């Protein structure tokens, strides 16, 4: 995506010769975001925010410049898992994102309100407008990847993200419960309505490993991620175990210290998919 198209929701599918490009804000002119990835789940609690956070950490470890746009406005957990409490600032150009200890740029409503415990009791259109502003008014600067942590389901925010952000690819996070998989199909169908390009499906909490005998225990039943991915015609990125260390470090705001080959592997597949997509767009 060229910088001049970075405000246009159709940027990923048009030839770049659109006569009526929306006027860019000063923040957009100062930014060049190469890849926007929306992370979706059908329902809450499947680990979407944790997976978003860890994908950002893995991409950052591999040398990419990464940001996270926390679009889960009413249930934001990104600042907490990265241990960020300082409020974001703005200058004459726009809002300056917070930066994690490893250099990941973050924006979240929780970095703007006085008390992080205060609920956001806002109507959908106001929340949607805020999410759009997280794209148009934030000075993201140079980014290889911007991960958008969507709220679960198919409500106002996912709709406005698909309509107003140039989403390059979608990652679906699910877990093995049957109910989750029924709901995830709705999210996939919705993304399809916006002609989303699926980077793939990740099955989180697929199993736990006994710390003594290392036996695999499928707590929520048999993983079905690979089958669901193929049934819905989207790539399968892999499975992740339930790991108490991830919960512990996330709760302590130290997710960047979590190490897992599984995440690194999934991040590599994600990079490959985004590069394939980029190559197709450049043709
Ligand atoms: P969601 O964004 O889907 O609502 P979260 O990412 O907030 O879910 O995760 C819900 C809870 O589950 C958090 O306490 C998180 O630390 C924990 N969690 C998520 N994935 C894992 C995992 N693979 N292993 C252990 N705990 C996890």
Q: What is the pLDDT of residues 76-116, one digit of tens each?
A: 899 999 999 888 999 999 999 999 999 999 999 999 877 77
Q: How far apart are CA 220 and CA 153, in angstroms?
A: 21
Q: What is the pLDDT of residues 179-206, one digit of tens each?
A: 667 788 888 888 889 888 999 999 999 9
Kindly state if the Cβ of 242 falls inside 6 Å of ligand 1. yes
| Mean pLDDT rounded to a whole number for the chain | 89
DSSP state of 23: P
Q: Does domain 27-282 have CATH number 3.40.50.300?
A: yes
Range in 8-17, 141-150, 262-271 the model is least confident about: 8-17
| Closest ligand 1 atom, residue 41 Cα | 3
Model pTM score: 0.91
| Closest ligand 1 atom, residue 44 Cα | 4
Ligand 1 centroid – CA 222 distance (Å): 19
Q: Where are the domains of the chain?
A: 27-282
User: Alpha-carbon torsion 194, 199, 201, 202, what sign?
Assistant: negative
Q: Residues near 71 by Cβ (< 8 Å), separated by ≥ 6? A: 131, 134, 148, 149, 150, 151, 157, 161
Kindly state if the Cβ of 49 falls inside 6 Å of ligand 1. yes
Kindly state if the Cβ of 248 falls inside 6 Å of ligand 1. no
Indicate whether 8 pLDDT > 70: no
Ligand 1 centroid – CA 45 distance (Å): 6
| Closest ligand 1 atom, residue 205 Cα | 23
């Amino acid at each position: 995506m060229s910088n001049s198209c970075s405000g246009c929701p159709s940027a990923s599918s048009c030839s770049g010769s659109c006569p009526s490009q929306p006027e860019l804000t000063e923040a957009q002119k100062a930014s060049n975001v190469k890849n926007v990835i929306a992370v979706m789940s059908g329902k809450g609690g499947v680990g979407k925010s944790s997976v978003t956070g860890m994908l950002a950490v893995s991409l950052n470890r591999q040398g990419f410049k990464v940001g996270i746009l926390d679009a889960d406005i009413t249930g934001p957990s990104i600042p907490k898992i990265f241990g960020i409490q300082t409020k974001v600032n703005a200058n004459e150009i726009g809002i300056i994102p917070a930066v994690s200890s490893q250099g990941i740029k973050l924006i979240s409503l929780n970095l703007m309100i006085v008390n992080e415990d205060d609920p956001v009791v806002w109507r959908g259109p106001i929340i949607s407008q805020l999410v759009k502003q997280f794209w148009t008014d934030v000075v993201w600067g140079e980014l290889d990847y911007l991960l958008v942590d969507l709220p679960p389901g198919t409500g106002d925010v996912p709709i406005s993200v698909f309509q107003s952000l140039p989403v390059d690819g979608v990652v679906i996070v699910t877990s093995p419960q049957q109910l989750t998989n029924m709901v995830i199909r709705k999210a996939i169908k919705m993304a399809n309505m916006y002609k989303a390009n699926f980077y793939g499906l990740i099955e989180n909490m697929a199993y736990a490993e006994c710390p003594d005998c290392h036996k695999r225990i499928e707590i929520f039943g048999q993983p079905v991620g690979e089958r669901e991915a193929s049934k819905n015609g989207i790539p399968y990125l892999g499975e992740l175990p339930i790991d108490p260390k991830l919960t512990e470090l996330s709760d302590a705001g130290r997710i960047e210290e979590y190490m897992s080959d599984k995440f690194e592997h999934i991040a590599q597949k994600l990079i490959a998919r985004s590069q394939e997509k980029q190559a197709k767009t450049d043709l």
